[in-house]
Amino acid sequence: MEVWEFDQMPWPGRASVTMGGKSYEGVVPGSAIDRRYEKELYDGHLAMARRADELGYDGFCLTEHHYGSLDPSPNVLAAALAATTERMKIVLLGNCLPLHGHPVRLAEELAMVDVLSGGRLVSGFMRGGAREFPHYNIDPTKSRSLFEESWELIVRAWTDDEPFSWHGENFDYDMVSIVPRPLQQPHPPIVLAANTAESIEWAAQKRVPLITSFSPTNQVAETMAYYREYAQEECGWTPGPEYIGLSRHTYVSTMIASGLNAKAVSVLAGHASIDVTYDRYGHLFDGHESEAGDRLNAFYAGKAQAIAAEDVDAMSRDELLALIHSLRSATG
């Protein structure tokens, strides 16, 4: 079993924007951004990654979110981690393929990260969803086709040593020949972060690890059971434990005593910047820490109810290890 740290890097503070009669949750307008603190926020995230590398974490995960996140391009941050860490894997969870107008450009960038990191890239792909598509005006009915063709084109660009043409449903290239070439052979490991049946089946068809997030244990167990069943019955192979990934919120701090709701904090802890947020940037919330906690708790109320129902409370190191073993047993 490997342990990766997942940093989603939200801007410290949430908002919603209404335009054209539509409400966009999680969007932070530029007027709410204090530019004086952006560089310090990035420095804090990078320092946390370096510390994770020193402490022996197996990997550090980045994701792609827009209009409310400090990480609209995980590839840029992955390049920074390649230069500032030495050992752990750099895991992208991941690039939302339908949002990338040119998959060849994405294949080139990821190959660069793999070379710069000395072959430490784990390239996660996602189809994305309601949180991403409106921001880039992506037609949801075309997202599956965009996702699958982008995947196929990126893998071929990584692995085909001779120039080739590509004339597909969504992309048209007379010639593709990327430089640099990925360091890992035949290409960097691919993982799929997914929850829908179609994407679970795609992971089984492509024989790549499946990672699921932000769901209670019984739902994760059902997802992984379907993944194994489909792989065995439809694809002729059996995923082992190394093909199963679970992202789970944890929070280690003395801050619970300051009045923040323990269950809300445990849910929000997947956003690994939160400790830095409250320690250094509480003023950005225009209120006291407890008020900021209330606002964050309200935003994540649905997830909090589902996961906190499992009675995730403050616990000792031994209790946390026991919980990890129970999750492994439940999900395989």
Per-residue pLDDT band for 241 (boundaries 50, 70, 90) equals: very high
CA distance 124 to 191: 5
Between 284 and 71, residue with greater pLDDT: 71
Per-residue pLDDT tens for 13-58? Answer: 767 788 888 887 778 888 888 888 899 999 999 999 999 999 999 9
The domains found in the chain, sorted by start residue, are: 4-331 (3.20.20.30)
The answer to whether residue 322 scores a pLDDT higher than 60 is yes
Kindly report the backbone phi and psi dihedral angles of residue 240, in degrees, each rounded to the nearest multiple of 5, phi listed first: -85, 180
> What average pLDDT score do residues 168-175 get?
97
CA distance 227 to 140: 23
Strands 121-126, 190-193: pairing kind: parallel
pLDDT value, residue 286 = 38
Per-residue pLDDT band for 238 (boundaries 50, 70, 90) equals: very high
Contact (Cβ atoms closer than 8 angstroms) between residue 89 and residue 32: no
The answer to whether residue 87 scores a pLDDT higher than 80 is yes
> Strand 190-193's sheet: what is its strand order?
4-6, 59-62, 89-96, 121-126, 190-193, 210-213, 244-247
